[in-house]
Amino acid sequence: MTVAFPPPRLLIGGRWLDAEAGSIPVINPSDGEEFTRIARGEARDIDTAVRAARAAMAGPWGRMPALERGRLLMKLARAVQDNQDTLTRLEAMDTGKPLKQAKADIVALARYFEYYGGAADKVHGDTVPYLDGYTVMTFWEALGVTAHIIPWNYPAQILGRSLGAALAMGNAAVVKPAEDACLSVLKVGELALEVGFPEGSVNIVTGYGEEAGAALAAHPGIDHISFTGSPETGALVQAAAAKNNRPVTMELGGKSPQVVFADADIDAALPFLVGAIIQNAGQTCSAGSRLLVERGAYDRVMEKVSQRFSTLQVGSSDMDLDLGPVINKQQKQRVESYLDRAKKDGLKAVAQGSMAPNAPTGGYYVLPTLVGDVPPQHVLAQEEVFGPVLAATPFRDESEALSIANGTEYGLVASVWTNDGARQLRMARGLKAGQVFVNNYGAGGGVELPFGGVKRSGFGREKGFEALHGFAALKTVAVKHG
């Protein structure tokens, strides 16, 4: 199937515009070759987009009833489903992820629009019992213009969860996808116009983070920023937003533990223990990058996980194997530098996957690697590698498991594997994370499940019904009637 790439243009005010600064090459991580270009938006384009969004809030979009907004989102969900093959190909080529993963991401994208389309007219306020002679009520109102800064690892899914909730609440959006992968986002822009989103309600400005991203974060005309990306960039975005006293949602990194007790069903756990780190070549905020195993079961678990790792194959997105490449050359070097450091410090790579023999040359491939007996304070157990590297560490008992699991700067997700019901609950309550999974990992993606971090993993929640409140302001109206 040949795919038409979106033109290198910006979606602003319902029209596709050229960027004065020109365009940026788009590289296929599977072979390192340029295959199309995107527009290089910058501060002046961001300014035009924010004005267009403001105008939309003052026009038909700002007056559209929640029911109609919901119907438009439902139409967008159907348009995504009708264009599933194209979107899947774009996402796979752009990010390097295997086709099956890209397809799952597009299925989730449609589901986000469907979920938030259905929710749009179900967010309502309250009445508050108050003093004699008063009636008090609350309303959830749109914030105004929302900014959405999206990373390259799951462009489609992260667009869906953030844009879907913002539009459902009646905001007008300016989206800044990542320069490394944004074709699916542009395609969604095309579909949004086709299904009838009014001009200026959805604006997309591609470009570099330091140019378009920084300009968006600092723009005084926006009312909220939803940022998903690294903690370092998140801090820059927060500082920019603070200058204008604007609220932010921060969806940042993770170093998520998978905690396995000796009584767990290891065979049932095995596909998750491996899948949670190799999905998207380990470039997942919620990757299960630490494997903590009760000492009595450590050798047994490591043997099984090693066997799995040694069967894993890496190849291009089209080959649709266990893993694709990582996103770019710097990311490959970053992951390899962590492996070099581990080796230098005497840590052992217990098992590694292999390259598929006919994988294209020039791609940014990294072999999935299981590293054993990693001390909890080692960088490999503390820092987000963002690659297919699993750091395994034994623990003595429940209390040590908790202390190691909670002993990083991050707190995004965690999983615990045990058949002891009381321990499941103790661990679930004790783990410092935004989501805890018991005897599973990720619960199948869970569009409906509120998601977000504690500690350095961020704050605010996206996904689920809860996210809608994050894109709205609660207004209290007190009427004195005597």
Nearer residue to ligand NAD within complex by CB, 250 or 472: 250
**Smallest separation, CB 237 to ligand NAD (Å):** 5
Q: In terms of CB distance, is 73 or 413 closer to ligand NAD?
A: 413
Residue 178 interacting with ligand NAD (CB under 6 A)? yes
Query: Is 282 or 315 the residue whose CB approaches ligand NAD more closely?
Result: 282
**Residues facing 251 on adjacent strands:** 228, 458
Selected from 64, 110, 149, 195, the binder of ligand NAD by CB under 6 A is 149
Query: Which residues, 363 to 422, sit near ligand NAD by CB under 6 A?
Result: 384, 386, 412
SS3 178: strand
Q: Are strands 23-28 and 33-39 parallel, antiparallel or unpaired?
A: antiparallel
Near ligand NAD by CB under 6 A: residue from 66, 214, 314, 326: 214
19, 49, 147, 237: which one contacts ligand NAD (CB under 6 A)? 237
**Contact by Cβ (8 Å): 73, 164:** yes
Choice between 228 and 279, CB closer to ligand NAD: 228
Four-residue CA torsion sign, 422, 375, 234, 229: negative
DSSP symbols for 407-434: -SS--SEEEEE-S-HHHHHHHHHHS-SS
The dihedrals phi and psi of 479, each to the nearest 5 degrees, come to: -110, 125
Q: Is 251 a catalytic residue?
A: yes
CA 157/CA 103 separation, integer angstroms: 11
In whole angstroms, the minimum distance from the beta carbon of 458 to ligand NAD comes to: 6
> Which alpha helices (DSSP H) does 368-476 contain, by range?
379-382, 398-405, 421-430, 466-470
When the beta carbons of 95 and 317 are compared against ligand NAD, the nearer one is 95
Three-state SS at 311: helix
Q: Does 52 bind ligand NAD (CB under 6 A)?
A: no
CA atoms of 195 and 356, how far apart (whole Å): 42
Backbone dihedral angles phi then psi of residue 251, each to the nearest 5 degrees: -105, 100
- Binding pattern to ligand NAD, positions 279-308, x when CB under 6 A? ------x-----------------------
Catalytic residue selected from 42, 199, 285, 462: 285
> Cα Rg for the chain, rounded, in angstroms?
23
Q: Where are the alpha helices (DSSP H) in 196-294?
A: 214-218, 231-243, 266-278
Q: Which of 42, 94, 114, 251 is close enough to bind ligand NAD by CB under 6 A?
A: 251
239 binds ligand NAD (CB under 6 A): no
Among 48, 162, 226, 233, binds ligand NAD (CB under 6 A): 233
Give the Cα separation of 477 and 467 in Å (integer): 23
Number of residues engaging ligand NAD in binding (CB under 6 A): 32
- The residue (of 250 and 371) whose beta carbon lies closer to ligand NAD is 250
Q: Shortest Cβ distance from residue 154 to ligand NAD (Å)?
A: 6
182 is an active site residue: no
Task: Give the integer Cα–Cα distance in Å for 79 and 3.
Answer: 16
**Residues found near ligand NAD in the complex (CB under 6 A):** 149-154, 158, 176-179, 209-210, 213-214, 217, 228-230, 233, 236-237, 251-254, 285, 384, 386, 412, 453, 458
- The catalytic residue positions are 251, 285
